[in-house]
């Protein structure tokens, strides 16, 4: 087995650090916060009762935006941050 390949396998099987775990958890935690907010304050989601509400009032649903931000962070931002953290910690 090539030494470089063995080193790469060790890096893949290593446990993630607490920093990586925190970054991985930020997106789901934010999304969960949006869901809890929507359940605790359902009157904030005017899509449930859109009587006499304009487009912008319906478009700006704070709990839904929080949920969307959590999903975007988890799928778009976090992978790059995790890769950078792993590179920085591996270079010590």
Tell whether the torsion through CA atoms of 69, 72, 23 and 80 is positive or negative: negative
Within a domain: residue 70? yes
Within a domain: residue 42? yes
| Separation CA 55–CA 31 (nearest Å) | 24
- Which residues, including other chains, have CB under 8 Å from residue 58's CB and lie 6 or more apart? 46, 47, 50
**pTM for this model (two decimals):** 0.72
Tell me the pLDDT tens digit for each residue of 6-41. Answer: 666 665 667 888 999 999 999 999 999 999 998 898
Split into its structural domains, the chain has a count of 1
What residue numbers bound the domain in which 80 lies?
18-46+64-92
Within a domain: residue 32? yes
Within a domain: residue 2? no
Within a domain: residue 92? yes
Mean model confidence pLDDT for the chain:
83
**CA neighbor of 75 nearest in space, from 41, 36, 28:** 28
Within a domain: residue 8? no
Residue with tokens 């390949």: 5
Q: Taking 80 as the threshold, does the pLDDT of residue 67 lie above it?
A: yes
Within a domain: residue 11? no
């Amino acid at each position: 087995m090539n030494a470089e390949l063995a080193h790469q396998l060790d890096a893949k099987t290593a446990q993630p650090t607490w920093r990586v775990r925190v970054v991985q958890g930020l997106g789901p935690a934010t999304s969960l916060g949006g869901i809890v907010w929507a359940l605790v304050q359902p009157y904030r989601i005017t899509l449930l009762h859109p009587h006499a509400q304009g487009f912008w009032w319906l478009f700006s649903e704070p709990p839904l935006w929080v949920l969307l931000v959590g999903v975007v962070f988890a799928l778009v931002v976090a992978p790059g941050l995790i890769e950078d953290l792993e590179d920085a910690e591996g270079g010590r």
